[in-house]
Chain A
């Protein structure tokens, strides 16, 4: 008979297989320093692993991961992920494969325009339109009111359009 731990472990494995890439992309959209993307996502999974006894539903697990990625990305931008930098550089196989993709990202006009936005605007736009989350879900992930999410989203799109037109 499968125990709760077995079930949550399988859930973690499934979530990892299905959503690792999208979480990596989410981090890439939130971070200026794309080299830290793998660190951030890996750290998010480590934290989820520690909390797996409390999170037993796939939706909540993914929401937890996204929120952790957002928070860690914010921390990384602020202080370059001081703690994670101490870790040995992981995933050499992945890093080499991703180099070209990250280089292309640096030249992407939309990404550059996105990086010019206020942090909150950027987070709202990325969660709302890349992760296809509802305003309520974005509000929950960012700890904002739905009204604030609407406002950041509306102003963020205006600012993004202005920056794209400048380019």
Chain B
């Protein structure tokens, strides 16, 4: 948490590096630029001044809140009693401004105590700081200094060859993974950023991407980290896994699927009626900007994507379908993983968009081996670029 960066003695910087500013050097340069500011420490009387002003402001706010409360009370009392009640004694009595606090106040203002002090209506407390969209746990260790301690530059799109694949469809949920291999020595930081797009450009509203948690009911492995930093040599890579869980359709939409009962899986029945809205491509964004070869996925009524952190290849097993898919007597397109939070519906939680989506120019064919993934890679007119949200 320190901002003095005592531990930045790190890696040597290759001045011929064409990628840009070395993060470690940038951090050191920023520190140097402002080192003289505040070098004498905080002003001696500063904290006392802050406390004095904070208390003065609090007093002002209390008075203002009280005034607002009294006005509201006056309106309420006025509307209830009409012309039968003189509001002025109530006002003066409640705010302690003098006057006869006993004249009618006890019967009309139950909150106004015998002392006549301000203990009436308070305005609602200010809303606590709003959470930003798609914020993962702050226990991630991928600080710039952690990346710098890896001693190698951060991986860029040019360093990585990555592709997303679908491995298995289990209970209507498509499980897949992204493999990335580095062509040069570099470091990569999680958590991963996924991009989902469809031809209709509705992915941003219909797909939610969440961090995988052990309680979400999916069969993804519980990767221990969230924001890991991996140092890669040329030829080394990393993996992340995801689960694509098509959302249940509403009754009106599900009617069409119900007529196709007996199909191998709900997702397949949905695939049978592919449309620009139901065909999605999912890709991993290197450095948050450059999409990789996507995997094609289907969902008639939107989907929820669960994703793990990045990890060394082979560290965790891929979900495997243990038996042939059993048709489920469901009228929905596909069930979400069991115990999935009820707040995961696209209507209540939408993925966040990236600052620009111009980078979404991926092309290429799907590398999916699953029967549920058909069609060629899509180039979305619009896309949903998202990082998993915490479900908490």
Contact = CB atoms under 8 A, between A and B. Distances in A.
Contacts of B385: 147
Nearest to A42: B50
Contact of B387 (A28, A141, A145): A145
Contact of B57 (A29, A46, A126, A151): A46
What size tier do the contact residues of chain A reach? 35 or more
A56 interface: no
A7 to B, nearest CB: 16
B124 to A, nearest CB: 15
Q: Is the interface of B mostly helix, strand, loop or mixed?
A: loop
Interface in B99-149: 128-138, 140-145
Interface in B276-293: 285, 287-289
A67 B129 contact: yes
A2 interface: no
A148 B133 CA distance: 10
* Among B27, B132, B287, B356, residue most surrounded by chain A Cβ atoms (within 10 Å): B132
A141 B289 CA distance: 21
B30 to A, nearest CB: 4
Contact of A25 (B37, B53, B132): B37
Contact of A104 (B27, B36, B40): B36
Contacts of B145: 132
What size tier do the contact residues of chain B reach? 35 or more
Given A93-B44, A144-B133, A131 B3 contact: yes
B57 A25 contact: no
A134 B128 contact: no
A141 B130 CA distance: 10
A120 B38 contact: no
A140 B57 contact: no
Contacts of A37: 37
A21 B38 contact: yes
B193 A98 contact: no
Contacts of A46: 50, 53-54, 57
Nearest to B50: A45
A6 to B, nearest CB: 14
A79 B47 CA distance: 26
Contacts of B135: 136, 139-140, 145-146
A25 B38 contact: yes
9 contacts: A13-B47, A17-B41, A93-B43, A101-B37, A130-B34, A134-B143, A136-B135, A146-B193, A151-B355
The 6 closest A-B pairs by CB, nearest first: A150-B288, A21-B38, A20-B42, A143-B132, A101-B36, A49-B54
Interface of B: 1-5, 20-21, 23, 26-27, 29-31, 33-44, 46-47, 49-51, 53-54, 57-58, 128-138, 140-145, 189, 191, 193, 227, 285, 287-289, 352, 354-356, 385-387
